[in-house]
Structure 1
Amino acid sequence: MQADLLAYGRQVLARQPFNGVVGATLEVFEAGTAELSLPLAAHLLQQDGFVHGGVLSYLADNALTYAGGSVLGKVLTSEFKINYLRPARDADRLVAVATVVGSGRTQAVCRCDIFLERAGERKLCAAAQGTIRKAE
């Protein structure tokens, strides 16, 4: 069943035109959790060489929504907040790990940590929390 959920999640991600620009990959998608990764590339950086905050927000929003969707089905983001903890740079890739904190019939509260990963080691660079609601 988990492999089916991951395959389905990857199909959904492939249908997101913006992800064609960004290039994230869904690594984990199972009940209560999701993980997206993104190799760093020049087109994702801002003028000072850091990953653009919008890219970090995109990863957080998608990871939060996947986590919420894993327990609710078809969903939309109701709201989310992100804290940028350190500049995102000097890494091979970003990894967004989201989990469901609590859920009911129509909404889930989820959190997401975004890590800089270099040579297999991770450093936290952003943290987000959001409310994901069942789509009508």
Structure 2
Amino acid sequence: MEQSPDAVVVERVRASFERQNAMKLIHANLAVVEAGYTEIHLPIWDGVGQQHGFVHGGVVGMIADSAAGYAAMTLAPSGASVLTVEYKINLVAAADGETLIARGRVTRPGRTLIVTQAEVIAVKDGRETLCALMQQTIMVMQDRVEK
């Protein structure tokens, strides 16, 4: 089981998430914050759909990127921020259902680079279906304040 980050880290991560207008735009919320792990939940609604009725792959990528990035932020020093420098995503099933859950976790912490992974799960009628897998590299930006 993951160790809980202290309240200051949780507040720093949640405050950063609140500054992300893109997450507000798609109605995503940061549901879980633990040391090296976060979850973003997204209700599926018409505004995130594509022409076949599934959630657009770009939206799936957005929540995977943010979930894994915030997992990295839980382990970053207090005066640092984080920035995605690379990710690769495999869309393995249609994102269809009532809710998407992006589960981000740190696979290798580092002082300068942090490697993370995320999986995105579609929840439909209480059943979970894996719809995306992502691997990401995060850069730790020392003494860089977010705007």
71, 89, 112: which one aligns with 1:82: 89
1:110–1:129: 8 Å Cα contact kept in structure 2?
yes
TM-score (norm 1): 0.91
Q: d(CA) in 2 for partners of 1:5 and 1:25?
A: 17
Tell me, yes or no, if the aligned pair for 1:36 and 1:96 is still in contact at 8 Å. Answer: yes
2:17 paired with 1:13: yes
**1:29: which partner in 2?**
33
Q: Aligned letter for 1:118?
A: K
2:102 aligns with one of 96, 99, 123: 96
- Counterparts of 1:24-63 in structure 2, within 5 Å, are 24-63=28-67
The CA distance in 2 between the partners of 1:54 and 1:8, in whole Å, is: 26
Whole-angstrom distance in 2 between the partners of 1:71 and 1:5: 9
- Does the alignment pair 1:127 with 2:133? yes
1:16 deviation in Å?
A: 1.1
Task: Deviation per CA, 1:10-44: give whole Å up to 9, x if none.
Answer: 22222111122111111111211111100000010
Let me know the Cα RMSD of the aligned residues. Answer: 1.5
More helix per residue = 1
Alpha-carbon distance between aligned partners in 1 of 2:60 and 2:50, rounded to the nearest angstrom: 12
Unaligned runs of 5+ in 2: 143-147
Aligned residues: 135
Percent of counterpart pairs with the same letter?
Answer: 36
Specify the alignment match of 1:72 in structure 2. Answer: 76
Q: Distance in 2 between matches of 1:29 and 1:72?
A: 14
Please state whether the residue corresponding to 1:50 is helix, strand or coil: coil
**What SS does the corresponding residue of 1:86 show, helix, strand or coil?**
coil
